[in-house]
Amino acid sequence: MSEAENLYGEEHVRRYRETAGDVGHRWKRGSKILLLTTKGRKSGEPRTKPLIYEQDGDRYVIVASKGGAPEHPDWYENLQRDPNVELQVLDEVLPARARTAEGEERERLWQLVNQQWPDYDSYQTKTDREIPVVVLERAPA
C-alpha cells in the first residue's frame, strides 16, 4: 500500500500541498484527489477537504456523498452559501465556481464519477437524499 492510500483529512491536505500533489493526488484504487477550499458558512474561515474528482472537459466533478450519510457534508453546505471556491489539482491552484448538476447532466456525470469510484452507487442506497454531483468551473481570469 502506498503512503497516499493511508492519507485522510488534514494529513492528506498537508502532504498534498507540501508535495504539489506528488503524494496524495492518486489515492485508493487509482482514484484522483483534488483539494477543495470553501469558506466556512459559520466561521468565514477557509476549510480544505481532499475529494475524489473526475474531469469533464475543462471542468472538475466531485460528489457530496459523505459515504451515504443522511446529511450533506459540511463542504457542500459551505458552497451552497458561497459557491466561490479554490481548487488545487496537483501543483495548480485556481479559483473556481461550484454549482450542483441537475437532470440529464447530473445523470451523465454520476455515471462518469462512478467509473472511478463505484462505491457512490452503494452510498446512494444508504440515504434518502439525492447525493449531489457538483461541477467546478474555473473562475474567469
Domains of the chain and any CATH numbers: 3-138 (2.30.110.10)
Question: At residue 121, does pLDDT exceed 50?
Answer: yes
Which residue did the predictor score with more confidence, 133 or 1? Answer: 133
Q: Model-level pTM greater than 0.85?
A: yes
pLDDT at 50 over 80: yes
- Residue 26: pLDDT over 60: yes
DSSP 6: G
Residue 104 binned pLDDT confidence (cut-offs 50, 70, 90): very high
- The yes-or-no verdict on residue 107 having pLDDT over 50 is yes
Chain centre to alpha carbon of residue 97: 13
Which residues lie closer than 8 Å to 108 by C-beta, 6 or more apart? none
Beta strands in the chain (DSSP E): 32-39, 46-56, 59-63, 84-89, 92-100, 133-138
